[in-house]
Structure 1
Amino acid sequence: NGWWTSDVVQICIGLYDQRGPKHVGMERGEEPDYKMYFTPASANSDNGAGVLAEHGDGNYYYETFNPDYVFEFRISLDDILIDDDARLTPLNGMRTPFEPMIHDNDGSGWEGLLVLSPINNDNAHQTCEVWSSTWIGDQATTMSTGSDIVLNEFALHQNYPNPFNPKTTIRFSIPEFQLVNLSVYNMLGQQVITLIDKELSAGYHVANWNAGNIASGIYIYKLTSKGKTLTQKMVLMK
C-alpha cells in the first residue's frame, strides 16, 4: 500500500504570486508547484526530491496522542527548490496556491479525505486547478479603536498559542447579554475544567487557561449559549 492509504497529512503549495489562471499540471521554473506528505518518521517531497526532514532533526517534530497526532515542520525556501525552480521572495499581499489534505485511516483501511477546496474531489494530486489559495502578510491593519464597537455574532476563535505549554488564551464573541458556558473536555468527552459559566454582555471576551497540572494531549473547548454550541481543538504539548 502507498503512503496515501495511511493516516497522513498531504500539502500542495505553489511558491509564486498566483494572479492569472491556475496551473493545470504541476509546473517548475518561474512558478513552481510542490507536493509534500508527513509521516511519523519524516516530511517527504512528493515531487521526487526525497526526504525533506526527519523526526527529531530540529526541522520536523511528530507526536501521537492516540488516535490523534500533531506535527511541526519547517524548511527554507532555498532547500525546497527542485532543479531550476525560481526562489519565492515573499511580499505582503501575494496570493499563493495552497491545498492541505488529511488522509484518514484508523486501522481498518483508508476511510476518507478531509480537504480545503470545495472542488478538490480527490484530484489535487493531479491538477492545481482544484487547489485553494492563501495569502502572505505580516502587517495588521486597525480599522477602529473605538470602545463602543460591539461584535454582533456568536463566534469561537482558535486559541493562542496553539500548541501551548501550559498557558493559552481563548477568544469569543456573543451578540447580546446572555448566559455563557465555556468548558474544556478531553478526547473521551470528559469535562476537564469550566472556564466561564455566567451571564456576559454582548461583545468580545477573553478566557485564559493555565493547564499546568494537565497531561499533554488534544483537548476540545466548547462554547455554549442559548441552545447554540461551538467547539475548537487545542493541543497541550509539554
Structure 2
Amino acid sequence: MNIVQIIKQKYTSGFLAVAIFIGLAVTTAAMPPNPETLQKHLEQGQPLPYYLEHRPELLERGINMSLKLAPSAKPGVSGSFRALAILIKFSDKPEAVAPAEFDTLLFVNRQGTVRHYYNEVSGNQLDIVTLNLPSSIGWTMAPQTYAYYCNDQNGTGAYPQNSQKLCEDVTGLINPLVDFSDYDNNGDGYVDAIILIHTGPGAEFTHTSTDIWSHKWSVWPPKLMDGVHVFDYSIQPEYWSAPGDITCGVFCHELGHVFGLPDLYDTDYSSRGVGKWSLMSYGSWCGPTGLGDYPSWLDAWSRIELGFASAVNVSANINDAAIESAESGGSIYRLWSSGGLGNEYFLVENRQKTGYDSYLPGSGLMIWHIDETILSSINPNDDEWYPGYTANGHYGVALEQADGQYHQEKLINSGDTGDPFPGSGAKTTFSPMSAPNSLSYSGENTYVVVGNVSASSSIMTADFQVSFASDIQESEDDILPEKVRLGQNYPNPFNPSTTIRLQAATSGQTTVTVYDILGRRVNTLFDEFLPAGNIVNLAWDGRDAEGREVSSGVYFYEVVTEQEKDVRKMTLIK
C-alpha cells in the first residue's frame, strides 16, 4: 500500500472536527515530507506520523492558510529584514551542534545559507539579518521536556502540549536578552520572523510522531513583549540524521510561509503539486544530498507575490520575444486573451540549472497556469486535475508540463526533463490545440499561444500570441457567406490529405491560402480567376509551399475574393 492509499484510508475513517471561526484561527503551514525517506518508512510497515494521519483535523485549525487569507501575511518584503533565531534544548534531548553553526547557516551571505538564498531569488532586494546571533544567546533550556511539547503529535497537537506553548515559553525566557521591537520590520506592532530551532531531527525526515514536524504557526492570543506582539513563528530541526547535516532548504521554505506564501505541494498527498519546481513544494529538498542544500527557486507566481519580480502583461502578439533566465533577472510574461486582466492567466519564465536551481529536474520555459480564485482558498494545490480525471477542482498554481504526461498530478514523480518547453519531448508550441493546451479551466479558447520555443539556454526566444493572428477570423457558425461558399474540409481531422470544396457566387480573382495557428502562411492552394457558380475541389496533402511535410496541429484555410473572405479550421493528425 502506498502513501496515498494509506492516508486516504485514514481520512475516510472520520475525525471529530474542531469548529473554529476563521477570523480567529491561527495559521499553520508545514514542510513537505522527504519523499525518499517517507517511502522507505512505509515500505518497512511503519505507522504514519501524527501530522500526516490527522491532516483533516489540522485543516480545521487553519493548516496551510493561503497568503490571501492570512492576516499576518507580509507581501512585498524587501531591504534589510531582521529575523530572530532561538536555539532550544531540552532535558531529555540535549544539543549536539554548536550555536555558531547556525550563525553561518542563517545569516552569513555565502552559498548554502538562508541569507544567500533569499538574496539570490529576490534579485538582491531582500537581505536577511539579525541583531542577536544564535551564538550570542546560546541554547535555551525549555521548561518542559521535548516529549511534553511533542506529545506524540509532532508538536502540532492541542495546546499547551505543542509548539505554540514552546514558542511562548522560550520567548519569555530570552526576553531579558532581546529587544523584540527590533524585529518589527514594518512597524505594524508584530514581530515579523521568529525562527525556533529545536534539538534533534525533524519529523518530515524521520516520519515518527515523537519528533516535531517543521512548520510555521502562530500563538493565540498574541503575546506582548517590548511593546510588540509575538504571533508568527517557524520551527525547524537541529539536524536531519546526524549533527552537522542540516541544510538551508527547510528554513527557506518555512520563511516563505512567514512571508505569507502557501504550500504549493498537495497537502493531502494524492499528487505532487508543482513538485521540485518551487521552494514552496518539493523543491525545498533539492540538492546533491536530497536534503535541501540547493533548494530550488520560488516559482514565478510566488516571486511576484513577494514583490521580488513583476509580470510583463502581453496585450498584443509578439514574435521572437527574448526570455532571459530567471536566475539572471529575466522577465516573467503574463498571457491571457487579448491581454485581459483577471483571476486566471498564464505566466512564462525561463529557468536554468544554475545557482540554487542547479538541481532542477530540467531547464527551459516554464508555463504556469494560475487561478487566483483557488489561491484565495486554504491549501490551493490540493485538488489535482488532468484529462480524464473526474474529480472537481484544479491547482491554484499548476505547471503546464510540456510532455503532457501530468506526472506530478498522477503522483508519478516530482518533475522530469519533459516538463519545461521544449524539454526532452522537443515540444515547441503551447496552444489551444496542443497537449497540454491553453484553454481556460472552463474549456474556453484563450487564443494564447507560446510558439517557436527555442532550445533551452540562458536567453530563449518564443512567439507570444494572445489573439488570433493577422486578420484571419474564424466563422462564428456554419452559415455560408452569400458571395462565396467555402466548405468544411473532409475528412477532418485528416492524415495524410484532405479535400476542400469551393464555389464562387460571382466571377473574380479567388485565392485560398492555408495558415498555421500563429497566422503564418503555409501554402496557397488556389489563386486563379473563378467564374460565378463554378465548383472547385481543392486537395491539400499537408505540405508547405516548399513541399515539406508540416507538423500535426490546427491550421486555418482562408478564401479571399474581390468582395468577400471566409475562413475555416482543420486539424492535421499524424
Confirm or deny a common fold (TM above 0.5): no
* Structure whose residues are more often helix by fraction: 2
* Structure whose residues are more often strand by fraction: 1
The TM-score with structure 2 as length reference comes to 0.18
Which structure has the bigger radius of gyration? Answer: 2
Q: Which has the higher contact order (CA 8 A, sep 6+)?
A: 1
